[in-house]
Amino acid sequence: MASHSKDDVAAWVGALLAGPALREAGSGRAILVLHGGGGASTVAALSQRLSRAARVLTPTHPGFDGTPRPQLLDSVAALATLYIALLDRLGVDEVVVVGSSVGGWIASEMALQAPDRVKGLVLINATGIAVEDHPLVDVRPLALPDLMRLAHHDPAKILAAAPPPSAEQQAIRVSNAAALASYDNGMNGQDPTLSARLAQVTAPVLVVWGESDGIASLDYGAAYAKSFANAVFERVPQAGHFPHIEQTESVSASISSFLRRLAWVS
């Protein structure tokens, strides 16, 4: 991992706090929700649900959804460093981190960087590890309809519920992809060192996986769970890469049960 100065990290945190890129809701023990490559809107409903019983922090990763990205903020590990520093600034000593897709990769790196602070992880169809014979699909060259078919159990239902993207939304999708590429550093969502390092994580982990994910297969998800010392793997039928969107009730129930087992919520 590249080393960044305290001044650099402090500037990143200051920029995040100065703009609209951090949303906070609810009260109680802290939960940090980290979105994937689709941007903050993909976890907005989940954050709202979790905020009924906890203090929920939902940042937009710098460079996503039209936000600026500092040049030196250029890796998933650096994002993890940013969010740990953000928790420092906010006075959050203990946190459960919920991450979707690349957000799960960031969450995993946070658990490695700050094991005393991260008290639990919820990974939702996360990327990050490399699994022999089960590589992630490279979504970068895909047109939106092809991506939707891979990402969802019932893409027709999702597409029917959403109007055609505006020119602004299309531009944001392009900029989000560019931001993701900056953090990914050409690894296509797979760090060959991550799985072995995750054995050091002792915090409880819930790995939730949509069975119909055409981007990160069910076997990939099972391997992710096995990387940890203390993980539970839960399959979600009739869901793809975003089970918290396609099967909101069942995924919310699973996360809530996990949080209660941690005594994080009542």
Q: Percent of the chain at pLDDT above 90?
A: 84
User: How many helices (H) and strands (E) would you count in the chain?
Assistant: 11, 9
CATH of domain 6-261: 3.40.50.1820
pLDDT for 160-182, tens place per residue? 766 777 888 888 988 999 999 99
CB-CB contact of 12 with 21 (8 Å): no
Q: Which pTM does this prediction carry? A: 0.96
Task: Give Rg (Cα) of the chain.
Answer: 17
Q: What are the structural domain ranges in the chain? A: 6-261
Cα distance between residue 228 and residue 200, in whole Å? 7
Q: Percent of the chain at pLDDT above 70?
A: 98
Average pLDDT of span 215-237: 98
Whether residue 225 has pLDDT greater than 60:
yes
